[in-house]
Amino acid sequence: DVKVTQSSRYLVKRTGEKVFLECVQDMDHENMFWYRQDPGLGLRLIYFSYDVKMKEKGDIPEGYSVSREKKERFSLILESASTNQTSMYLCATLTGGGNTIYFGEGSWLTVV
């Protein structure tokens, strides 16, 4: 059974804290993505990666960074969390050509 696992489902962090969101996939897919989802705005692309040690900015990269040291793991980092980063974060993998997409369960982050 295919799995995309996000390590934290619910987090509460303070403003200014460094936050790590981890995503691990077991399908040997090259393409991995981080999105945030907000009411009325839908899914917005933060960062993506097509290969190990490769990363590209999506539509809303400000305030975020990523790390992909191993093929199966793609981490999203909030260097200094702010209240406007309170959101639901989703990790996904995508097969070549966009044929199949798998999402993690999502991580609900509240920054206070």
Partner 1 sequence: KNEVEQSPQNLTAQEGEFITINCSYSVGISALHWLQQHPGGGIVSLFMLSSGKKKHGRLIATINIQEKHSSLHITASHPRDSAVYICAVYDLNYGGSQGNLIFGKGTKLSVKP
User: Which residues of this chain interact with partner 1, rule CB under 8 A?
Assistant: 31, 33, 40-43, 45, 48, 50, 56, 58-59, 88, 90, 92, 94, 96-106, 108
Question: Is 86 or 102 the residue whose CB approaches partner 1 more closely?
Answer: 102
Amino acid identity for residue 64 in this structure:
Y
Of 15 and 100, CB closest to partner 1: 100
Task: Answer for the pair 96, 31: CB distance below 8 angstroms, yes or no.
Answer: yes
Closer of 12 and 101 to partner 1 (Cβ): 101
CA distances from 91 to 42, 55, 101 (A): 14, 14, 10
Across-strand partners of 79? none
